[in-house]
Amino acid sequence: MLTKSTQYAIRALVYIQLQSYNQKRPGLAEIAKEIEAPEAYTAKIMQILTKHKLLSSVKGRGGGFFFSEKEPETSLYSVIVVMEGDSCFTSCAFGLSSCSSSKPCPLHDKYGPIKEAFLKLAQEETIQTLAQKIKHGDAVINLL
Amino acid sequence: MLTKSTQYAIRALVYIQLQSYNQKRPGLAEIAKEIEAPEAYTAKIMQILTKHKLLSSVKGRGGGFFFSEKEPETSLYSVIVVMEGDSCFTSCAFGLSSCSSSKPCPLHDKYGPIKEAFLKLAQEETIQTLAQKIKHGDAVINLL
DNA sequence: TAATAAAAAGACCTATATGTCTTTTGTTTT
DNA sequence: AAAACAAAAGACATATAGGTCTTTTTATTA
């Protein structure tokens, strides 16, 4: 399971991408309201994302958050790694640090493919592909 | 990812099952040492497991933990649910409470099958099937 | 039956994730 | 240049997972 912070981060990024289709640059208050997260906590998350160059921001009147032209597509994988590290992709189901094909834990064979599938999903899907699904009405990202 | 408590629980149960093949009934200290977990913390976990009838115990000299004949095979699913609830099987990748096929989040289609596969794994595998793999030398459950 | 062994129970502590508040810094508009 | 605005930064608060310690209960055995 992704952490709450990671979930907020992805939803915020998707919302910013959606607004960018309309030449908009949403601010913190608007984003927090949209993703139904506490404003101050959302601020922390946005700071992590901008610090890691997944997002750009401008201060002052009319400021807000946006994707610069220079930034490439943002994979879910990179968002997850920035927010909570890569252990959900790499670690053994039992937390065995030595778990490997030569010294497999009893779930190694069956859990491995599941981790693989999740990694593939995270690498292939991007903020932009998720936003497109919403734009086309194929998905929603609000709580209600 | 399973919590550390859940990982300890599964490893402890598998060890107890392995010992039961030799008519042994391991005690707390032995179990904690085997799974490389703090003894007092392991005690807490064993209490949760016995309270939920996934395991039996006897106090006093020569006491310890064991599976009674009456107990059916213990699925991983039931251990996970007792230790940390069922949210890892049910919850949306984005934490959207309303996520469903009629109101899907943007990962619903691709993440659903992954959750399904994990649920199937947890329902099919049991402490006993995992212990058999170790007994037959097809897997290990120690850290080193 | 008394001493001892071992699990159960409960109070406590620590680290991390989550969440809040205040001050600082940078940008825009007047 | 001054005022207003909005993100950045950092200190603080709360909840939960993880971990420790002491006391109580129950069983065994000498």
Listed residue (B1, B95, B113, B108) closest to A11, CA to CA? B95
Q: Distance from residue A6 (CA) to nucleotide D18 (C1'), in Å?
A: 22
Q: Is the CB of residue A120 less than 8 Å from the CB of residue B74? A: no
pLDDT at site B30: 98
pLDDT confidence tier of residue A117, bands split at 50, 70 and 90: very high
Q: Is the CB of residue A22 less than 8 Å from the CB of residue A50? A: no
Nearest to A7 among B95, B131, B142 (CB): B95
Mean pLDDT for A70-88 is: 95
User: Residue A126 carries which DSSP code?
Assistant: B
Q: Is the CB of residue B91 less than 8 Å from the CB of residue A7? A: no
pLDDT at site A143: 67
pLDDT at site A139: 96
**Cα A63 from Cα A43, distance rounded (Å):** 14
Q: Is the CB of residue B42 less than 8 Å from the CB of residue B12? A: yes
Mind giving me the DSSP string for A50-115? Answer: HHTTSSEEE-STT-EEE--TTS---BHHHHHHHHH-SHHHHS-TT--TT-SSSS--TTHHHHHHHH
This prediction's pTM: 0.95
Q: Which two tokens stand for residue A126?
A: 């991007």
Q: Distance from residue A36 (CA) to nucleotide D11 (C1'), in Å?
A: 25
Which nucleotide comes closest to A84 if you measure CA to C1'? Answer: C17
CA–CA distances in Å: residue B91 to residues A24, B16, B79, B99: 32, 31, 18, 9
Q: Nucleotide D25: nearest residue by CA–C1'?
A: B59
Mean pLDDT for A127-131 is: 97
- Phi–psi pair at B56, nearest 5 degrees: -115, 160
Nearest to A10 among B94, B125, B144 (CB): B94
Q: Note whether A140 contacts B103, CB cutoff 8 Å.
A: yes
Sign of CA dihedral A76, A78, A82, A85: positive
Helix (H) / strand (E) element for A123: namely helix A108-124
For domain A4-135, give the CATH number.
1.10.10.10
- What Rg do the C-alpha atoms of chain A give, in angstroms? 17
Q: Is the CB of residue B5 less than 8 Å from the CB of residue B80? A: no
Along the 144 residues of chain B, how does pLDDT read in single tens digits?
A: 999 999 999 999 999 999 999 999 999 999 999 999 999 999 999 999 999 999 999 999 999 999 998 888 999 999 999 999 999 999 999 888 889 999 999 999 999 999 999 999 999 999 999 999 999 999 998 866
pLDDT at site B7: 97
The residue extents of the domains of chain A are: 4-135
Tens digit of pLDDT for each residue in A20-61?
Answer: 999 999 999 999 999 999 999 999 999 999 999 999 999 999
Q: Which two tokens stand for residue A113?
A: 């493919």
- Provide the mean pLDDT of chain A: 95
